[in-house]
Amino acid sequence: QMLVMTLLICGAVLCVAIAALFTFQVVNFRSNFQLDATTLAAVIANNSTAALTFDDAKAAKEVVDSLTNKATVVSACLVRNGSPFVYYGNADYTNALSQFPSAQGYLFSRGHLLVTQPIKCGVDQAGTLYLRLDYQRTLLELLGLYGLVVVSIIIVSIGLAAFLSRRLGSKITHPILHLARIAQVVGEKKDYSVRAVVSSRGDELGRLMESFNEMLSRIESQDAALSLSQQKMEALINSIDGIVWE
């Protein structure tokens, strides 16, 4: 029972710690993902400034096609004079520009991160970049990795806790079981002469056994005194009976 209680306590504490760490990692991932996305959008917008200014569709296409190396990017669209100029990725997503924030900013929507980045040429706005990234897929991959790590930690922790509890718990359970056996002998046989073996470590269990032995000593002394008084009383009664009969 002590082993089970120890494992339950360790498991509860471990679950709370893992939940707190898991929540922190998810929040931190969301923040970093958003920061990386807005930084990427700013870089693409800056590289597209000249292409939009000089109406160079080929150069603009080369800029957005550089997003091929970004696995999280679903689509990107460069808008010039209110109409799509070039796009990258899924055309269906590219045409759904109404879902994006109207001004510079970002929005999490249906598992995607939508980023709107104005493209400036001096003080004038040459166009707008609309960037869509797959936040949900990346998050699920990360959660899968965290899940494997968490399961591994739990298995190792439970195994370690069970091993240490058996090794260290014996130092507590063995003296208590020894004390319980002594108490059982005293209760069944009324033998107050038995004593518990006191450990020399001087901890709480050692003091408990010393107190138990002192209690047995007092009970033994009282029992001996009571037996002696009973013997004297019986002797006195017998002597009185002898006098009466005479």
Q: Which residues lie across from 87 on neighbouring strands?
A: 77
pLDDT band with cut points at 50, 70 and 90 for residue 193: confident
Report the C-alpha gap between 201 and 130 in whole angstroms: 73
- The lowest-confidence range among 35-49, 55-69, 140-154, 166-180 is 166-180
Q: Name residues whose C-beta falls within 8 Å of residue 79's C-beta, 6 or more positions apart in sequence.
A: 85, 97, 127, 128, 129, 130
Q: Are 45 and 116 in contact (CB under 8 A)?
A: no
* pLDDT for res 147: 85
DSSP assignment string, 143-184: HHHHHHHHHHHHHHHHHHHHHHHHHHHHHHHHHHHHHHHHHH
Average pLDDT, the chain: 83
Angle between helices 204-245 and 135-189 (to 10 degrees): 20
pLDDT band with cut points at 50, 70 and 90 for residue 73: very high
Q: Which residue has the higher pLDDT, 178 or 67?
A: 67
Report the C-alpha gap between 153 and 6 in whole angstroms: 17
DSSP assignment string, 52-84: HHTT-HHHHHHHHHGGGG-TTEEEEEEEETTEE
- The lowest-confidence range among 19-33, 34-48, 99-113, 202-216 is 202-216
Write down the residue that tokens 């009976």 correspond to.
241
pLDDT digits 0-9 by tens, 224-243: 888 888 887 877 777 775 55
- Give how far the C-alpha of residue 29 lies from the chain's centroid of Cα atoms, to the nearest Å: 17
pLDDT band with cut points at 50, 70 and 90 for residue 15: confident
Q: Which residue has the higher pLDDT, 144 or 238?
A: 144
CB atoms within 10 A of CB 39: 11
Report the pLDDT averaged over residues 104-130.
Answer: 90
152-156 LR contacts (CB < 8 Å, sep 24+)? 153/14, 153/18, 154/11, 154/14, 154/18
Q: Is the pLDDT assigned to residue 132 strictly greater than 90? A: yes
- pTM of the entire predicted model: 0.62
